[in-house]
Structure formats: C-alpha cells, structure tokens
Structure 1
C-alpha cells in the first residue's frame, strides 16, 4: 500500500457564516507531484496554507507527513520546503549569504553552491538580492524552498515572473527533485505547467473540490468529448460530438459545402479547467436562491 504524504478529509475553513473551503478531501502519495488548480479566491491558497501550518482550519482532518500541521512543531517544519507567492527575504545580503543562513536551519541541508547552480544563479551568487530582477528574486525563493532537502515541497505559483526559458529550466529542476523522491504540491495558473509536471491534478472553485484525477483523462470521458469548430453565417460556432467526423459530414450536407474554418479538437486541460470553474460559478449563483443546489460532486475522482 502506498504511503500518503498528505491526507485531507472534509476540510473546512469559515469566516463568520462564509465558507471559503467547504468539505475538501484528497490524498497525495509519497513521491507524487500533485497540482491544485483554481481561480483567485477559490480557496486554493487557504487550503495550502492550512497544510503548511500557517492557517488554522475550522473543521475536518489533515495530516502532513503523518502529523497534524496545526500542532506540528519544528520537527515537521524541518521536513517541509515552502515557496510562497512572495517572501520577505532581506535585500541587503547576497544570494549566497541568504542561502547559507537558511541552510543552517536544517539538519541535512543541500550544498549551497549546488542549489545556486540548480536555480541558475551562479553569476548572481555574490549579488545583493535587492539588485536582482524580479525573476531572479523568484529563483532565490525557490532555492530557499529546496535548501533543506525537504520530503514535501510546497510550490505556490513558483514560476511567476519567469521568462519561457527560465520556466523550462525550472521544470528540469522539478524533475530532478521528483527523481529523488520528493513529494510536491504545486499550485499554478499555467495549465501547461501542471500538465508537464503533475501526475494528478485537482480543481478547486467556490471553495469546493470540482474534479480530481490523473492528467491523462482528467475530468472524465464526458469532458474529453471532441469539439467541432466552424464558421457559419460569419459567426464562430462549436459543438461537442462523440463522432466528430460524422458530425462534420452531416454539417457539410446541411450547408451544401465544406464548412468554413472547420476544426476538430480534443479539449485540453485548460478547456476542462475553464468548464469546471464556469460550472462552479453557476452552482454558486444558483445557491443564492436554493442552498441545496450548490452541491457539486468531484469528477474523475483519484485516490
């Protein structure tokens, strides 16, 4: 049986009578890279902060590396790596000085120069952090997150501010960490990043888990039905069809000619994600009139 690095059951976080996380449950296996996706305000960051031990939950059960993060002390924190959306690192010290300081907080840290090379900051090792570009400072954030050789690494929007080349280099770094057995919880607004790095993804919206499962086949068969796109009467049209070739043939017969700008596409992870978020928004709006209508069952359930 595979060991779980993270176990979440019926997690709730409320502020007054407003639930920002409402009954969320999922597991993350040891050594897995798991992507948690969702729009701003969906409850994604609150969920991650509870797992990191930064925020108290209202209800539910949570275990991180076998420990409740609400009561876990320094022993648990020494096993975690955390890359926040923004950090308060000192701009007065150099990259190497900052990493040496943080390395001293952990029992078995990585070599400082090895980490500097891993995040591509060799040329800036002696540069004060305040003098770095935004993207370079973000690389320092990542370096601080991995310096302690964490068993579980939280990456919250890690490549914000990276140019395309830097993002690809970062992906290579994450793959090396995966190869070492590091468990990774990734949040990102880049759907291609989630598809490249994660084995499983989950979508949270309106405080609820909308879908969870492997990247391949995510969202279930219904979400993967091909889309036929064409232009008719000067307007773009599209429709899902389990048999897109037959649909296109019937469409051509109806129009009396080959449809303009005909295209058959399979929904991408981004298409499915946007559809799930739209469904959640619609359910939330409907809940204003009928609270019972807000219940949404996760699609494509994984572990």
Structure 2
C-alpha cells in the first residue's frame, strides 16, 4: 500500500513539538535531510544521529525506500519505482540496534556510485522505526517512525534546469479569507535531471500607505521532470485593501533570479457575511414588490 511521504515529514515535526511542549516520549533524528554528490566509482559517507527518549530501552530498525513526485504536484509519495537504485547506491552498517533511554548513536550512511555510470539522481528515504522493548507493536506511538530524505547527485552527469511557472494568491486575487492567515502559492517546473532547491522572498506591498511586508521563501525541493507547488503562509495582512505581491526567487542554481508580480485585494471575511445578508434582504424586497404588482 502506498504510503505518503508527507506523513513521515509531519511525524518528524510533530514528534519534536510534542517533546518540547508536552515532554512526551519520543526519539530524535538529525539531520532529517541528506544531500550527497558522488563521482562515478567513488563513495561518500554522512552520518545520521538517533537519540532515544522513549522513556525505556528501545529497539530500532532501518529500512530503505524510494520516493517520487505526487501527481497533484503538492508533494511526494513513497514508491518502489526506483528502489533498485536506492538499495544499490545507499548502505548502512546496521539493520537493527538497541539504545538505552537517553543513549545516542551515529549511523554512517554511505553512497557508492558504480564506475560504469548510472542515474544522474536518486531519491531515497532512510526509514527509522523505534519500539520500546517489551511493548506490543500495536501500542506504538505515531512518532515511532521517522524518515530521513536522501538526495543523491552523480557528479558529471548533472543537468540543472528549471523555472518559475506560476505565482498567485490562494483563493484568487480578490481574496475573502475566513481565517487570519493568508497564503500565496508558487509553482516551479524542473526540466533538468537532478533535484533543485529554489528559494527567495515575497514582498507584499500595501498600496494604501505603501508599507511593505517581507515573507521568506525557504529552500524547498523540486524533483526532476516534475512541477511542484509550494504554499507560503504569512501573518495577518498589514491592512485590508489593494496589494502588490512580488516574488523574487533564486532557481537554486547559477544564481538565476525569477521575478513575478500580481495585484491582489485582501478583504475581511466578515464582509462576505455582510454581502450575503444584504443580498438576501434585496432578494426578499424584490419578491415582495413582484407580489404586490397589480395584475
């Protein structure tokens, strides 16, 4: 059964938040993303640290999985499409290990590229599952499974190419938002053969008093031969009214900057209620006049 990779990523975030805010049992993994460039016939090794805070000795197991873009362009999904290359290129010295409460271990993750060449890029997940010793598996918490994303580039075979394809306001340019936060969306098409990490910032300029709010666009990955859409949530707007939104985004290679702007109008959600109520009143007035019209 297909597993959605975003669940693994959410689990990482939820585990960290739960541990800090509520001190619930958890185990930590760092980093949660590895980017490795390796030359054909050579090997590169990086480490992943696992720390046990599940409240008791626990057994951990490792598994390799591959992922690919999701059809809707919003994220990625776990699949076995490229699992052969993931297992061929990536290796770890452990499949299972045990940690006492508070104990940590550094797991070497080695990527070896065959001398005869191979794919220009490979994308895998090192899935790590932790289980308290003596605890039934059915009782395991959601946070007992975490994932480390692994992005591999084969040096010398890389073709970096992509561009911004869309930038807009979620909900449309005339925006009645039912919540306090507003979101913009960015779509990026990767036409190369390796993943790209675009980044930049958005300027939301309120045209009433020419005040500007800056929103950071942190690096986000786009897999080759795919288009991905990223939603950027920012805080409550400076004021309601007309805005000029401008995106300046680095493509993630060659220091190439894409720039795109659009006009939008941000309106309070209570205006929707007012207009709906006004529409109903006018409708009933019209009906009443029609009923009173002499035959």
Q: Same fold (TM over 0.5)?
A: no
Whichever structure has more helix as a proportion of its residues is 1
Q: Whose radius of gyration is greater, 1 or 2?
A: 2
TM-score, normalised by the number of residues in structure 1: 0.23
More strand by share: 2
